Amino acid sequence: MTKKIDRRNFMETSLKVIAGAGLYSVAEPLVRPALASKRPHHIANPAPIVVVKNGRASTMVRKAVESLGGIGKFVAKGETVVIKPNMSWDRAPAYAANTNPFLVQEMVNLCLEAGAAKIKIFDRPCNDPRRSYKNSGFDRVFKHLRNPRVEFSHIDERRFVYTKIPQGKNLKEFFFYKDALEADCIINMPIAKHHSLTTLTLSMKNYMGLLGGQRAVIHQDIDQNLADISTLIKARLILTDCTRILVANGPQGGDIKDVRRPNTIVAGSDPVAVDSYCCRFFSVSPSRIGYLSKAYKMGLGEMDLSRVPTTVLDLS
C-alpha cells in the first residue's frame, strides 16, 4: 500500500524528521559519554597488579613477584630472559632518571632462582652509553658480576633488525634489538618520570631503548607509535620503579628538587594497568596519557583500575 503524499502528509513527516534530528542533536552530547564508557575496550579478565611500598628494594621486588604468583609464573627453566631497565641518562640514581639498579639486581636473582639459562640486561642510552651505565649505578652492580648466565652489555649496533609490526596502526616497521625479539621472556623495569611530550614516561615508553636507527622520529605521533610498539614487544612482567620519581624536567632531570620518593614499586603483566596505576603518583589521570588511551583502545590492557585486581602491600 502506498501512502498518498499530499501537502499535509509531507509537512507532518518533515516536521517529525526535523524535530527528531533536533532532539537527537541536543541529547547526543549528553548520551555520548554513557555510550562511550560502554564501548568494549575493557579486556575480559584484567591481570592483577601489585603495589609494594616502604621496603628495601630487594624485599619489595621479592614480595611483588611472590604476590603475583612467584617468578616461576613468568620465567621457566632454561629460558632466555631480557630485563630492560631504563639506564638511558648520565645521571646518578638520586636524580631519578634511571631505574634503581638494586631492583634489577633482585630481579636477576629471582630469574636465576627460576633457572633462566641466560639473563640479558641492556639499554640504548641517550647519553654516552659508558657514562650512562656507569653513572646510573648499573656498572657497579653488574659489571664485575662473574656469572656466565648474566649478560650485562652495551648495545651492539649490528644486532638491530628491521622488523615489521603486523598490528601497527601508524608504525608499521622499525629497527628492533634482536635479543629482545628473540627472548623467551621480557621483563620491563622502567622508572616513572615526567616527560614533556607524553606527560609521563612509564613502561610502554621504556621500549624505546630497544629501538635502533634514528629513533627520535618516533616522536611524531608518539602516542600511537608507542601503542604500536607494544603490540610487538610484550613483556611478561612489568615492574615499575617508583622508589624515586621525577616530577618535572624529565626525562633526565638534574635537579634533586624535582625528585619525589614514594618508595613504591608497581608490578603486573598488563602494561596499561601498571602504567595507569603509576599515574597517581603524579596526580595525573591515566586518560590524559595519550599512549595509554591508544593502547587501551587497541585492547592491550585495562585502563579502568576499578576492574583491575590490585594488591597493596605496605612493608613499613
Site pattern 58..97 for another protein (x: CB under 8 A): --------------------------------x-------
Establish if 180 lies at the interface with another protein (CB under 8 A): no
Task: Quote the least distance from Cβ 93 to another protein, whole Å.
Answer: 14
Binder to another protein among 250, 268, 271, 301 (CB under 8 A)? 250
Q: Give me the least distance between CB of 18 and another protein, in Å please.
A: 28
* Contact yes or no for 277/301 (Cβ under 8 A): no
Rounded to the nearest whole angstrom, what is the least distance from the CB of residue 167 to another protein in the complex? 21
Other C-beta atoms within 10 Å of 59: how many? Answer: 13
Q: Site for another protein (CB under 8 A): which residue of 254, 280, 284, 299?
A: 254
Nearer to another protein, 219 or 234 (CB): 219
Q: Which residues have CB under 8 Å from 93's CB, separation 6+?
A: 100, 101, 136, 137, 244
Of the pair 173, 255, the CB lying nearest another protein is at: 255
Query: What's the CA angle centered on 269, arms 267 and 274, to 5 degrees?
Result: 50
- By C-beta, is 38 or 158 nearer to another protein? 158
Q: Which residues bind another protein (CB under 8 A)?
A: 90, 126-131, 134-135, 139, 158, 195-197, 214, 216-217, 219-222, 249-255, 258
